[in-house]
């Protein structure tokens, strides 16, 4: 039997991340052959991976990286089975290594086939499944390319990358703020203009039904009823709808006995409230139409425009689970 030295064990450990005893056993089985020992560990990983194929890898780490030219960003999720592993320093180091490598590829399939220390990324995940004892996989892979790209990661749970149409003064601050908005508020599209009319119609019906059902229970309990909106998106607020809403507001002011000469001071506030009450879908899902988290008096579109001739080109968000 070949004599296995501590230096050889340590070398294999550094190369694979496997435990000391696993490395020693692999070297013994491989009769001291370093490359064969790596293959032994890889086969162990394959066996573990097969056994854990049906496990849920909903924990892990979300990572965002931007290249040196700041014109391409990537966001990935390296998934594992438990929060304990997801917080492990070695696991997080692997996630960040994979994130840096991912910058060179445009799709998840290309990335998984990429070289990682002499093996593919896919094989590396199998190897580390054997080392860690939990299923590892890439649960999300998103890229953004634009004249300027920024990113934000929230405690390794959510990652966002956002691209802008131009590189303006203080773009770094703008990019971080907007990426933070994306991570925090979970927008799915840029603007209400991106919505399909059929989707808006079905969402309107569903949301009104939910509120009306809630109001039945609230009324039974003698509590204040929720406002039932007529609409849920700016896409529905046509000039005719807005004109009708203004007339309704005027009728209300008249009924309340408010002097007509002060209506001009009251109407803007009422119209703002009407828009706010009837654009809930936009505020939830549309980045540019959301209230800006650092100043809720303005929306994200207004905040972006305050930096000059620049606009959000695209964005991506990934999260655990």
Question: How far apart (Å, rounded) are the C-alpha atoms in residues 119 and 44?
Answer: 15
Rounded average pLDDT over 56-79: 94
Percent of the chain with pLDDT over 70: 95
Instruction: Please choose, from the candidates 144, 152, 143, the residue with its C-alpha nearest in 3D space to the C-alpha of residue 294.
Output: 152
Band (pLDDT 50/70/90 cuts) for residue 48 is low
* Residue 283 · residue 290 · CB < 8 Å: yes
**Helices 34-51 and 121-132: angle between axes, nearest 10 degrees:** 80
For CATH 1.10.8.10, the residue range(s) in the chain are: 6-51
Question: How far apart (Å, rounded) are the C-alpha atoms in residues 146 and 140?
Answer: 20
Q: Which long-range contacts (CB under 8 A, 24 or more apart) does 166-175 make?
A: 166/309, 166/310, 166/311, 167/70, 168/307, 168/308, 168/309, 168/310, 169/307, 169/308, 170/307, 171/307, 171/310, 174/150, 174/303, 174/304, 174/307, 174/310, 175/148, 175/149, 175/150, 175/151
Structure confidence at residue 52 (pLDDT): 67
Band (pLDDT 50/70/90 cuts) for residue 152 is very high
Whether 32 shows a pLDDT value over 90: the answer reads no
Task: Give the lowest-confidence range in 20-34, 199-213, 272-286, 300-314.
Answer: 20-34
Burial zone of 271 (CB within 10 Å; 0-12 exposed, 13-18 middle, 19+ buried) = middle
DSSP state of 290: S
Structure confidence at residue 12 (pLDDT): 77
Instruction: Please choose, from the candidates 203, 165, 172, the residue with its C-alpha nearest in 3D space to the C-alpha of residue 286.
Output: 203
Q: For residue 293, give the 3-state DSSP assignment.
A: coil
Question: How far apart (Å, rounded) are the C-alpha atoms in residues 1 and 101?
Answer: 39
Strands, sheet with 59-66, edge to edge from the N-terminal-most edge strand: 59-66, 72-80, 137-145
Structure confidence at residue 38 (pLDDT): 77
Task: Give the lowest-confidence range in 68-77, 116-125, 194-203, 311-320.
Answer: 116-125
Give tens-digit pLDDT for 254-287: 999 888 999 999 999 999 999 988 999 999 999 9
Structure confidence at residue 5 (pLDDT): 84
Structure confidence at residue 282 (pLDDT): 95
CB proximity list for 120: less than 8 A, separation 6 or greater: 112, 113, 114
Residue of higher predicted confidence among 155 and 23: 155
Whether 1 shows a pLDDT value over 60: the answer reads no
Burial zone of 290 (CB within 10 Å; 0-12 exposed, 13-18 middle, 19+ buried) = buried
Instruction: Please choose, from the candidates 179, 190, 181, 189, the residue with its C-alpha nearest in 3D space to the C-alpha of residue 296.
Output: 181
Whether 28 shows a pLDDT value over 90: the answer reads no
Q: For residue 171, give the 3-state DSSP assignment.
A: helix
* Residue 318 · residue 75 · CB < 8 Å: yes
Residue of higher predicted confidence among 122 and 21: 122
- Range from 31-35, 100-104, 272-276 that averages highest in pLDDT: 100-104
Question: How far apart (Å, rounded) are the C-alpha atoms in residues 190 and 181?
Answer: 12
- Range from 103-107, 212-216, 254-258 that averages highest in pLDDT: 103-107
Whether 56 shows a pLDDT value over 90: the answer reads no
Question: How far apart (Å, rounded) are the C-alpha atoms in residues 260 and 155?
Answer: 54
Rounded average pLDDT over 35-64: 76
Structure confidence at residue 50 (pLDDT): 65
**Average pLDDT score over the chain:** 90
The helix/strand count (H/E) of the chain reads as 13, 10
Structure confidence at residue 45 (pLDDT): 65
Helix segments in the chain, DSSP class H: 6-16, 20-29, 34-51, 83-86, 89-102, 108-112, 121-132, 171-185, 197-220, 239-255, 263-277, 280-285, 300-305
Task: Give the lowest-confidence range in 11-20, 27-36, 53-62, 88-97.
Answer: 11-20
Task: Classify domain 59-187 by CATH number.
Answer: 3.30.479.20
Task: Classify domain 6-51 by CATH number.
Answer: 1.10.8.10
Strand-pairing partners, residue 152, are: 160
For CATH 3.30.479.20, the residue range(s) in the chain are: 59-187
Question: How far apart (Å, rounded) are the C-alpha atoms in residues 287 and 89?
Answer: 33
Structure confidence at residue 120 (pLDDT): 93
Give tens-digit pLDDT for 155-184: 999 999 999 999 999 999 999 999 999 999
Percent of the chain with pLDDT over 90: 66
Rounded average pLDDT over 209-221: 91
Question: How far apart (Å, rounded) are the C-alpha atoms in residues 168 and 81?
Answer: 42
């Amino acid at each position: 039997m070949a004599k296995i030295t501590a230096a050889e064990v340590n070398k294999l450990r550094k190369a694979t991340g496997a435990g000391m005893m696993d490395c020693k056993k692999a070297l013994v089985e491989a009769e001291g052959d370093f490359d064969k020992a790596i293959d032994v560990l890889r086969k162990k990983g394959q066996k573990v991976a097969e056994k854990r194929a049906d496990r849920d890898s909903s924990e892990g780490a979300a990572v965002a990286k931007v290249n040196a030219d700041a014109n391409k960003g990537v966001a990935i999720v390296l998934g594992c089975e438990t929060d304990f592993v997801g917080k492990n320093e070695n696991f997080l180091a692997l996630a960040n290594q994979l994130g840096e490598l991912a910058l060179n590829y445009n799709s998840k399939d290309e990335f998984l086939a990429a070289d990682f220390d002499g093996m593919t990324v896919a094989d590396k995940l199998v190897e580390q499944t054997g080392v860690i004892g939990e299923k590892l996989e890439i649960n999300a892979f998103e890229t953004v390319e634009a004249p300027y790209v920024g990113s934000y990661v929230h405690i390794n749970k959510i990652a966002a990358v956002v691209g802008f149409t131009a590189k303006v003064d203080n773009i770094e601050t703008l990019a971080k703020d907007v990426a933070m908005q994306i991570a925090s508020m979970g927008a799915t599209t840029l603007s209400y203009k991106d919505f399909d009319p059929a989707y808006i119609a079905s969402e309107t019906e569903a949301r009104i039904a939910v509120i009306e059902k809630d109001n039945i229970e609230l009324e039974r309990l003698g509590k204040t009823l929720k406002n039932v909106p007529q609409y849920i998106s700016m896409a529905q607020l046509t000039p005719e709808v807005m004109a009708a809403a203004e007339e309704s507001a005027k009728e209300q002011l008249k009924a309340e006995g408010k002097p007509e000469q002060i209506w001009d001071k009251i109407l803007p506030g009422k119209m703002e409230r009407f828009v706010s009450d009837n654009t809930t879908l936009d505020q939830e899902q549309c980045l540019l139409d959301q209230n800006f988290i650092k100043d809720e008096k303005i929306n994200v579109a207004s905040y972006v425009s305050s930096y000059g001739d620049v606009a959000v080109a695209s964005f991506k968000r990934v999260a655990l689970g």
